[in-house]
Amino acid sequence: MSLQSEHRNGPSGLSRFFRRGPWENFATFLIALGIFMLMQPFSIDLFSYSFAVILTGTVGFVIVSHFPE
C-alpha cells in the first residue's frame, strides 16, 4: 500500500531528504574546508578548529554513503 502510494506520489519527504548525493557533496565540502583550514597560513583560530571540521566531514561521509541514491 505504502509502496504503491510512494510510486504514485513519488518518494516520501523523509526519503527525499536523506538522499546520498547532496549529503555526500556536503560532507566532501566539509572535508575540503577542514583541510584548507588545517594548512592555510592566515589564522591560527581556523587551524585550531580544522580537525573538528575534518572529523565531522569524514564521519558524516561514512554515514551518508549508506543513504539510498
Partner 1 sequence: MTDQPSGRSADSLTDRVARATPGAVVQRVRGLSDTAIAWLFISPTILLLLAINIFPLIWTVYLSFTNYRANRPGRAIDWVGTRNYERLLGNEDIWGYLQATAHFVVWTMVIQVFIGLSLALLINRNFKGASFWTTVILIPMMLSPAVVGTFWTYLYQPQTGIFSYIINLFVAVGPVDMIGSVDLAPWSIIIVDTWMWTPYIMLLCLAGLRSIPEYLYEAAEIDRANTWQKFWYITLPRIMPFLMLAVLFRGIENFKMFDMVVELTSGGPGSTTEVASINLKREAFEKWRTGYSSAFAVILFVTVFGLGNIYVKALNKVKQ
The residue ranges that bind partner 1 (CB under 8 A) are 24, 27-28, 31-32, 34-35, 38-41, 44, 47-51, 54-55, 57-58, 61-62, 65
Q: Closer CB to partner 1, residue 12 or residue 55?
A: 55
- Of the chain, the end-to-end C-alpha distance in Å amounts to 22
Least distance (Å) from partner 1 to the CB of residue 16?
A: 22
Cβ-based nearer residue to partner 1, 5 or 48: 48
Answer whether 51's CB lies under 8 Å from 38's CB.
yes
C-alpha cell at 4: 504503491
Tell me which residue of 26, 46, 42 sits closest to 34, measured CA to CA: 46
